[in-house]
Structure 1
Amino acid sequence: MTDPTTSPGHERLHAGLTTVRAALSRTVPDPGHLQQLVEARAVLRSAMDHLEDAHRDDFAAAHTALDQLGRLLRQHYPSACVLPFRDGTYRQECPVELAHLRVGLSPRIRVIASHCSICNQDPEDCAHLPGRAYDGQRCLSVITDAEIIDVALVGRPRLPDARITSWGIDLETLQTALGPTFSPGDQVLCGSCLSPCRGLNRQFENSTHG
């Protein structure tokens, strides 16, 4: 049986917490650690995604650490919080902000051809069970041909890391917030992490393929 403390979610939580605690213990911000902190944002977001269902306390710990890291970066390393501007649109791509919208992508597919990773036979014709180890090798059903029927937005995708990585920000919203001196293309800093956490948005909690 796999030790739950060695799951991908727990490994990422441990790595993220280690980075955040070290950063919070430093009395003076160190630009040399910026890249490590930026990477930790993505690590902690992934930890949340992997821990959501079975490990509520650890999920909450990852959420708290991600909020702390977001605030620390915005206060001391604002260059990490610049909104990307591409093709005339500002994008929100920060793992902290994205993690608070609990939504993922769930593809529905029709498998046309597949084979067993152990014996290379059709999974319907072999005795190996997907997920079980045989002589140290984990059995998988390898899909070689498939048709995507549709993709749904769901609260808990089967693949935890199948998440939205970017969304556009309405220019009128920015114009209202930043005032008349704002012009599209100006450098804009995201300030979400300077405010208290608004909680998680679970509007897709009950969404399915319909």
Structure 2
Amino acid sequence: MSAHSSFRLGEVGAPAEDSDAGPTKDLTDAYIASRVRSYRRQAKRSFQEAQRLAVGNKSAAEERVKQALDAAARAFWWAEDSELEGQQHQLMHKIGRWKRKNLGCSLSFNGGTYAQRCSVAIAHKKMGLSMGFTATRICSVCRRDLASDDCPHFRDRSYWVRGGADADGPCRVCTQDSCKHRTDTLYRASVVGIISAQSNMVLHEISIVRKPAQPEARLTELPIDTQELAEHLGSNFLPGVSVSCDQCLGGCSGFIEFSGQD
């Protein structure tokens, strides 16, 4: 594999277009790290804004800190099971602890039932959603059916491809219609299976799994048994009263691992 990530067309030592560029693991790892960094920056920026707004506009601060928690959780999901996970876990609790102390945290109540919608609480349930479906996937490198004999490319290999979108489809490097990749430059790129409106997609099932292929495919709320809540809070509890969440106060109680099949 070349140490270069790009070559101008015709440059001395440039590889042949569409030639093999080695295993794709480093590109995958770099992409995951970039998603973690991007969401972490969003989380820290929104958190700083929330802290500033909390002095005179708590409503606006509440909105900003929710955005911060959402971004922090997404950074954590992308970092899951990697060396980056610990930092994102700490950031979630740091922001959550500040929110609880300065703005308060409570369970959601709607239609007679309580639910937990906090991104931090949801992130501590290690589970997500996986779709079972069939569809025609188009190879991002050659724009042919990825499963057909006409496509010579493999998902675990990278290839030297020309950048930029053209009349046949999106950029072969980033699969975007508009980007900064140049049409006169070859880049190392992974093979992506593109699903479009013409892919004849048929959904067969949605399953709960321990770690979803799409890191952000997570639950949006966790239902809470009202009877168990009443037993925990005592005889003065009445459904509908505000119930505080103290999960981010004190030390982390750990994660709940999904026990089903991956």
- For the criterion TM > 0.5, the same-fold answer is yes
Superposed counterparts of 1:1-210, under 5 Å: 1=5, 3=30, 7-20=34-47, 29=55, 31=58, 32-54=60-82, 56=83, 58-78=84-104, 81-111=105-135, 113-116=136-139, 121-123=144-146, 124=148, 125-126=150-151, 134-136=161-163, 137-138=171-172, 140-143=192-195, 144-204=199-259, 207-208=260-261
Q: CA RMSD in A?
A: 2.9
CA distance in 1, matches of 2:114, 2:208: 22
Show structure 2 runs of 5+ residues with no match.
Answer: 6-26, 164-170, 176-191
CA distance in 2, matches of 1:29, 1:91: 29
Residues 42 and 95 of structure 1 are in contact (CA less than 8 Å); yes or no, is this contact kept in structure 2?
A: yes
Residues 108 and 114 of structure 2 are in contact (CA less than 8 Å); yes or no, is this contact kept in structure 1?
A: yes
Residues 116 and 126 of structure 1 are in contact (CA less than 8 Å); yes or no, is this contact kept in structure 2?
A: yes
Q: Could you say if the C-alpha distance between residues 132 and 12 of structure 1 is closer, same or farther in structure 2, counting changes exceeding 3 Å?
A: farther
Residues 117 and 221 of structure 2 are in contact (CA less than 8 Å); yes or no, is this contact kept in structure 1?
A: yes
CA distance in 2, matches of 1:5, 1:141: 17
Q: Could you say if the C-alpha distance between residues 5 and 17 of structure 1 is closer, same or farther in structure 2, counting changes exceeding 3 Å?
A: farther
Q: Could you say if the C-alpha distance between residues 201 and 21 of structure 1 is closer, same or farther in structure 2, counting changes exceeding 3 Å?
A: farther
Where 2:125 maps in the other structure, the secondary structure is coil
Q: Deviations over 1:19-74 (max 9, x none)?
A: 557767x7x755243322110101010001001133x2x21111011111111111
Q: CA deviation at 1:186?
A: 2.1
Q: CA deviation at 1:133?
A: 7.1
Number of aligned residue pairs: 200
CA distance in 2, matches of 1:23, 1:10: 20
- Which amino acid in 1 is paired with 2:71? V
TM-score normalised per structure 2: 0.65
Q: CA deviation at 1:116?
A: 4.5
CA distance in 2, matches of 1:83, 1:59: 26
Q: CA deviation at 1:199?
A: 1.4
Q: CA deviation at 1:190?
A: 1.8
Q: Deviations over 1:115-163 (max 9, x none)?
A: 4467654332345666767432135433322333333322221110011
Residues 5 and 11 of structure 1 are in contact (CA less than 8 Å); yes or no, is this contact kept in structure 2?
A: no
Q: Could you say if the C-alpha distance between residues 132 and 84 of structure 1 is closer, same or farther in structure 2, counting changes exceeding 3 Å?
A: farther
CA distance in 1, matches of 2:254, 2:45: 24
CA distance in 2, matches of 1:146, 1:19: 37
CA distance in 1, matches of 2:45, 2:143: 42
Residues 116 and 142 of structure 1 are in contact (CA less than 8 Å); yes or no, is this contact kept in structure 2?
A: yes
CA distance in 1, matches of 2:159, 2:235: 62
